[in-house]
Amino acid sequence: MSILSIVLPAYNEEQNIANTARVLSEVLEENHIEYELVFVSDGSRDGTFSEIGKAARENPRIRGAEFSRNFGKEAAIFAGLGLAEGNAVIVMDCDLQHPPQAIPQMWKLWLEGAEVVEGIKESRGKEKLSYKLSAGLFYQIMSKLIKMDMKASSDFKLLDRKVVDTLLSLPERNTFFRALTFWAGFRTESVFYEVQERQFGESKWSFFSLMKYAITNATSFSTLPLQLVTVMGIVSILFSVALFIQTLVRFFSGTAVEGFTTVILLILIIGGFLMLSLGIIGHYIARIYEEVKGRPKYIISRTTEKNVIKTDEGSARSRQEV
């Protein structure tokens, strides 16, 4: 009998855990799907983990882990993938914005041989205008850089065991789950869903956290910004050649001198380009620095089974190999 694992990252979601666990088990039991629910509390500062513990005592198919601090949703997803034991794994938000009603359909596609089932957003649901704008900008930048249409994609996906193991074997620390499944390939099917309203609490993303997320993911998935530096260099060289000629012509025709404006403008433009370029290069060096340090993606301080301290094994292994 095949088992479906559901991975649920949770950050300060104490109000959602019990309800989500109940709704999911109902849907899965109704559809006769063998399942386990894996909650990963991402260093929550409220009672999220004790809620997970309570749910786990009531239903043996529920398990959970707690991070030692907030490591971010990506880390929580990967921790959940590492803990999941099912033949297929679904990743979904624990605020029920990803409709559980789509799960039987995803499961059916998997039974029919799909290795990845992408959840595609049909509508973005009700969101604040500011959030819509920043999320819109975020996806536009991401889609351009990654060269994949990210607009409708989400973290709501089903992955076959093969795909999960592939993702877990990737050595990189700065992961972008949503795009990695595109990158990995495999036989992919899609399921369309309407984004639901959040059950309790509020969204954890602010404009700045989204921008940071965009820049981190863009640079971990694309080196295009680095090539941009070259382009800027070429543009300024062409510009200087033009000015060079103009200056010489003026010099020989005796109408030179009043070039003060040009000098100031040139200094500003070149200075701006240089600093921007250094910033972009610096950002990549920061990424390299983080990867080279080889620190684990997350640290698990507690699980519902026993109190163990665990980090992601992938990195422990890769450190030994070095």
Residues that bind ligand UDP (CB under 6 A): 9-11, 13, 42, 70, 72-73, 76, 93-95, 97, 203-205
Lay out the site mask for Mg ion across 66-105 (x = CB under 5 A, - = otherwise): ---------------------------x-x-x--------
118 binds, among Mg ion, ligand UDP, none (CB under 5 to 8 A by kind): none
Smallest gap from Cβ 117 to ligand UDP, in A, equals 19
72 binds, among Mg ion, ligand UDP, none (CB under 5 to 8 A by kind): ligand UDP
Smallest gap from Cβ 221 to Mg ion, in A, equals 23
In 3D space, the residue among 36, 23, 93, 99 whose CA is nearest the CA of residue 64 turns out to be 36
If the CB atoms of residues 36 and 95 are measured against Mg ion, the closer one turns out to be 95
In 3D space, the residue among 18, 14, 29 whose CA is nearest the CA of residue 4 turns out to be 29
The secondary structure of 89-141 as a DSSP string is EEE--TTS-S-GGGHHHHHHHHHTT-SEEEEEEEE--S--HHHHHHHHHHHHH
The answer to whether 244 touches 186, Cβ cutoff 8 Å, is no
70 binds, among ligand UDP, Mg ion, none (CB under 5 to 8 A by kind): ligand UDP
Is 154 a binding residue for Mg ion by CB under 5 A? The answer is no
Smallest gap from Cβ 30 to ligand UDP, in A, equals 23
162 binds, among Mg ion, ligand UDP, none (CB under 5 to 8 A by kind): none
What's the Cα-to-Cα distance from 222 to each of 143, 161, 217, 219, 306, rounded to whole Å? Answer: 11, 27, 8, 5, 40
CA distance 46 to 10: 11
66 binds, among ligand UDP, Mg ion, none (CB under 5 to 8 A by kind): none
Is 16 a binding residue for Mg ion by CB under 5 A? The answer is no
Q: Is the dihedral of CA 55, 56, 62, 68 positive or negative?
A: positive
Q: Is the dihedral of CA 313, 315, 319, 322 positive or negative?
A: positive
205 binds, among Mg ion, ligand UDP, none (CB under 5 to 8 A by kind): ligand UDP
For residue 45, the surrounding DSSP H or E stretch is none
If the CB atoms of residues 175 and 225 are measured against ligand UDP, the closer one turns out to be 175
Smallest gap from Cβ 126 to Mg ion, in A, equals 12
Q: Which residues bind Mg ion (CB under 5 A)?
A: 93, 95, 97
